[in-house]
Structure 1
Amino acid sequence: MDLFSRAAICHLTEFDLQGSANTAWALSTVLLADSSIFPALADLLLSSLLLDTSMACLDHVANELTHVCQLVWAFSFASCLSQRLGQRLYRTLIDTGARLDCIPVQDLVTGPPLETRCKEMTPGGPTLAMDLDGISVVFKPPYWEVDAKGQLSRSGLYLSKYLQAAHPASPVLRMARFEYGFIHRLDVPSSGLILAGTTFRGLAALQWQMHTYSICREYVVLVAGMLPAEVLKISASVQDFLAGRSYVSDDGRPADTELKVLDHSGASRSDERHTLLSIAIYTGRRHQIRVHVQWQGYPTVTDEKCLCASSKQ
C-alpha cells in the first residue's frame, strides 16, 4: 500500500473531485490513516475549486455533492480532517445548498404546483416529531419504507410521500437525485426517528453532521438467544451494494456496531430466550444492525420468525 500511496501522490493533480473522493475512501476503508496521501490530498483540496455550480446541471451538482460527502466521511473516519479542510468542505456543502434554495421551484421539479398538493396524512402513520428551519424529524412506524434509495417494496407506505404531503412547497423532498432529503434509513419492520432536510441547506447541514459523526444514533433491539454481556462491539465489513441484500464480507465497507445488554428474558425452552440490546452504530450500512447481530448468531426477533418460517417450508 505504501507503493500505492506514492504512486497516487504523483498523480493527485490529475484527479477530479470523484477521483479524490474515491482515493480517500479507499485508503480510509483499509485503515491507512497514517498514509502520506492524506496530507497531500488535503493540500490539493484546499487549493482547488471544489464545486462550481454556475454552469452545472442538477444531476452533476448532486453527484459532486456526493463526492464532497465522501471526502468528509473518509477524512473523518481516518481522523485526518483538519480544521482548515473541514471548514472548506463545510462551506462547500452549505453554500451550495443555499444557492440551490434560491433556484425557482419550477426549474427544479416538474408536476402539479407544489402549493396545491393535498396534505394526506394516514391514520396511524408517520408523525412529525419536530419541525425546524430546513430540517424535519419524523417518527417512522413499522412497515413504512424510507425510500431514499428507491422503493424496494410495493406496500405504498413510502416515507417520502408523507414528507411531500407535510411540506408541499419543498422541492428537495421530491427529488430522487437528492434522496428525497433523507440522510439515513431504518429497516422496513423497524420504527424510530428519521432525519430529513426540507431545504437544500438543511440537507447539507445534516449531511455534514452525519459524516463527521456529530449525530449519535442509538437503537433498542430485541434479538433471539442469550447474547453474552461481554460482546460489546462488532467490527465486520458489510457488503451492501446489491439492492435489498446486505451481508458480512471482506470486500464490503467498514462497519462498527457497539452493543450494550439491557436485559435477558430467560425460559426453559431455548427458542424462547431473548436479549434486549441498546445498539449504537457509527457507520450506516444498509441493514447493518440486522446483519451484524445475525452474523453473531443472534438474529432480531423479526428475522428469527422469518428464518423459522422459511425453514418449515
Structure 2
Amino acid sequence: MAARFIAFDPQPSADPLPERFPSPFRPGTPHPLAERAARALRAWLEANPEALDPARFRGRFGGKMFGVLVVREASGRLGYLQGFAGAFGDRRVVEGFAPPTYDVPAFEALWTGGSATIRAWDRRIAALRPAVEAGDHRAAAELETLILAQRSYSQALHQDIYATYRIVNARGERADLPALFAPLPPPGGAGDCAGPKLLAAALAMELTPVAMAEFWWGGPPPAGGRQHGVYYPACRGRCAKLLPFMLEGIDCEPAPDVGLGQVPDDAPRVVYEDDDLLVVDKPPGMLSVPGRGPRRRDSVEYRLKARANPDAIEAAVAAQSKSKPPAGSEARTAAGPRLDQLWPRLVHRLDLATSGLLIAAKHREAYVALQRQFSSRQIGKRYVALVRGPLPDALGEGGEIELPLARDLDDRPRQKVDRREGKVARTRWQLLAHEPEHAASRVALYPHTGRTHQLRLHAAHPEGLDAPLVGDLLYGYGEGARLMLHAERLTFLHPTRGEPMELRSPCPF
C-alpha cells in the first residue's frame, strides 16, 4: 500500500468537522480541513520540485491534478491522504500517495503486452498504405482486414483492462467499471482521477472520509482550462457516475446544481420590443433556455413565453412532458401547443454566468431572418470583460485570437483547445483600461464566431490573453461574486424592415 496516513499536528477541534461529506462536485474553496491538508501538500511540492516528474513542471504546459482526502481513524485521530491523477510517465505507484484503483501487476502486464501488439499492427498497416494509394486492390483488402482485426483486439484489450479495476463503495459492494457507465463505454482515464484513488485507499485502510479537495499544480494542459494552484471540483465526465457509487454508505451532500442564481422575478428587462422581436437584458445566473428537469425550466425564454402566453403556459409545459413529436413538427397535442411551439423564441444564447443582451423572435419569419444573419456572421457583438491581472505589454493594445475549440467529453461542460478536431474560433480584443485597484484589466471582446465558452477560453489560454476572466469558475480562479463578462452591444438588421439596429446595455461592473 503506497498511501500514507498523515496526521494533523496539532489535531483540529471537533468544531470544524463537516456534518456531511461535502460533495466532491462543489466548485470553489473546499472545506477548511481539506484546505489545510492541501496547503501542506502544496508546501511539500514547492519544497520538492524534483521528487515526482521534474520535466512536467518546468515547461509552459503540462501540470497535474493533485488531491487530498481528510480522513478519521477509528480512534478519532484526524489526518489526510494525498494522491494525484493518472501517472507520472511509467510511474503509477509513488510511495506516500494513493495507489491506482486497479490491480497494478495485472494492469501493467496487459498494458505492456497489448501496447506492443497494437504497435506491431500499426507498423503492418503503415507498410501497406503506399500500395493501397497506388491502387493495389489486394493490399486494400488486406489493409481493411488488419484494421478490423486491430479494432477487435483493442476492444477486447480494453475489456480486460477494465476488469483489473477494483471499484468498491463504503458498504463493501464492488462494481465493474463498464457497468457504471453503461450503455456507453467508460471514458478514457475513468477510475484514474485523484478522487477515486483517494476514496479507494481510504476504504482499503478502513479510514472514514471527512472532506476532499483537488487542485491543479503546474502549467496548464495544452487544451487549456486549468490554472496553477486553483481548486477544481471532480470532473463530470469520468467521475459523475463513479464517485456517487463509491460514496454509497457515506452521508454525502448532493451534487450542486452549479451556477443557478437567484434572479429578480421581473427579469429579464426588456431593452427593445416591437411586433417582430424583443431584445432583453439577461442577468447572470439565469439560463437562456430551459434545461433538463423542472428545476432548470426557469430561463429567459421560458419567462418570455409565459409573459406572452399567460393562459397557455402551464398546459404547454404539461403537453411538452407527455409527448414530443419529431423535431420540426408543429403538430399540437389535444391540450394545445407544446412549450417548444410557443413564441417568442431566443435566436442565440448566453452562458449561464454571462449577463447582457439577447434577441428573441416573435414569429417564424423573424426567427429565420435573424438566424440567417447569425449564420452568415452579419450580427455584431461586443462584450466587456474584466480579466485577471495587468495584460503584458507584449500583447499591445489589441489583437486577434484564433484557437480551435471542441467539447471536452471527459469533463463537460468544459471546452478545450483542440487543433485536430476543434472548430474554428476567432475573437478580436481591445484593451480598454488597466484597473490596478481590482488587479484586473478591462477589455472589449468581439467574437467573430460563436463557439461555446469561446471568450472565456480565449482569455484564459496561454496562447490567448493568458488572463482568465475574473470570477470564472471553469477556466479561471472563481474569485468574486460573478463572472465578469457582459454582452454590452448588438448590431443587426431588422428582420422584416431591413433597417440597421443597435442596442446597448450598460456594463454593470
TM-score, normalised to structure 1's length?
Answer: 0.51
Alignment match, 2:304: 163
Listed one character per residue, the Cα deviations across residues 239-270 of structure 1 (whole Å, up to 9, x for unaligned) are: 14855221211111111000000000126xxx
- In the alignment, the residues of structure 1 paired with residue 267 and residue 276 of structure 2 have an alpha-carbon distance, to the nearest angstrom, of 22
Contact 2:414 2:474 in 1 (8 A): no
Alignment match, 2:265: 123
- In the alignment, the residues of structure 2 paired with residue 253 and residue 153 of structure 1 have an alpha-carbon distance, to the nearest angstrom, of 32
> What one-letter code is carried by the residue in structure 2 that aligns with 1:215?
I
Alignment match, 2:385: 221
Contact 2:470 2:476 in 1 (8 A): no
The reply on whether 1:193 has 2:363 as its aligned counterpart is no
> What one-letter code is carried by the residue in structure 2 that aligns with 1:245?
R
> What one-letter code is carried by the residue in structure 1 that aligns with 2:270?
L
Q: Which one has the bigger strand percentage?
A: 2
Deviation at 1:305, TM superposition (A): 9.4
Paired residue secondary structure (1:253): coil
The reply on whether 1:237 has 2:404 as its aligned counterpart is yes
Which of 357, 369, 387 is equivalent to 1:205?
A: 369
Change over 3 Å in CA distance of 1:140–1:203 after alignment to 2: same
- In the alignment, the residues of structure 1 paired with residue 425 and residue 267 of structure 2 have an alpha-carbon distance, to the nearest angstrom, of 31
Alignment match, 1:7: none
Alignment match, 2:7: none
Deviation at 1:134, TM superposition (A): 2.5
Listed one character per residue, the Cα deviations across residues 268-311 of structure 1 (whole Å, up to 9, x for unaligned) are: xxxx521101110111111110011011321110116985469x
- In the alignment, the residues of structure 2 paired with residue 154 and residue 179 of structure 1 have an alpha-carbon distance, to the nearest angstrom, of 21
Which consecutive residues of structure 2, in runs of 5 or more, have no partner in the other structure?
A: 1-262, 317-329, 331-336, 480-509
The reply on whether 1:137 has 2:137 as its aligned counterpart is no
- In the alignment, the residues of structure 1 paired with residue 293 and residue 458 of structure 2 have an alpha-carbon distance, to the nearest angstrom, of 21
- In the alignment, the residues of structure 2 paired with residue 291 and residue 306 of structure 1 have an alpha-carbon distance, to the nearest angstrom, of 7
- In the alignment, the residues of structure 1 paired with residue 388 and residue 294 of structure 2 have an alpha-carbon distance, to the nearest angstrom, of 26
Deviation at 1:191, TM superposition (A): 1.0
- In the alignment, the residues of structure 2 paired with residue 226 and residue 189 of structure 1 have an alpha-carbon distance, to the nearest angstrom, of 23
Which of 432, 440, 450 is equivalent to 1:284?
A: 450
Deviation at 1:182, TM superposition (A): 2.0
- In the alignment, the residues of structure 2 paired with residue 151 and residue 256 of structure 1 have an alpha-carbon distance, to the nearest angstrom, of 30
Q: What is the root-mean-square deviation in Å for CA atoms of aligned residues?
A: 3.4
Count of residue correspondences: 185
Which of 246, 252, 269 is equivalent to 2:415?
A: 246
Paired residue secondary structure (1:130): strand
Contact 1:141 1:192 in 2 (8 A): yes
Contact 1:222 1:274 in 2 (8 A): yes
Listed one character per residue, the Cα deviations across residues 214-244 of structure 1 (whole Å, up to 9, x for unaligned) are: 2101100111021233551100111148552
Change over 3 Å in CA distance of 1:154–1:246 after alignment to 2: farther
Q: How does 1:1-313 map to 2 (within 5 A)?
A: 122-123=264-265, 125-147=267-289, 150-151=291-292, 154=295, 157-168=298-309, 176=340, 181-227=345-391, 228-240=395-407, 242=409, 244-250=413-419, 251-266=421-436, 273-295=439-461, 296=464, 297-303=466-472, 307-308=476-477
TM-score, normalised to structure 2's length?
Answer: 0.33
Contact 2:428 2:446 in 1 (8 A): yes
Paired residue secondary structure (1:204): helix
- In the alignment, the residues of structure 2 paired with residue 197 and residue 178 of structure 1 have an alpha-carbon distance, to the nearest angstrom, of 11
Paired residue secondary structure (2:359): strand
Contact 2:284 2:352 in 1 (8 A): yes
Change over 3 Å in CA distance of 1:248–1:163 after alignment to 2: same
Identity over aligned pairs, percent: 28
Listed one character per residue, the Cα deviations across residues 46-105 of structure 1 (whole Å, up to 9, x for unaligned) are: xxxxxxxxxxxxxxxxxxxxxxxxxxxxxxxxxxxxxxxxxxxxxxxxxxxxxxxxxxxx
> What one-letter code is carried by the residue in structure 2 that aligns with 1:259?
W
- In the alignment, the residues of structure 1 paired with residue 381 and residue 418 of structure 2 have an alpha-carbon distance, to the nearest angstrom, of 23
Rg (Cα) greater in structure = 2
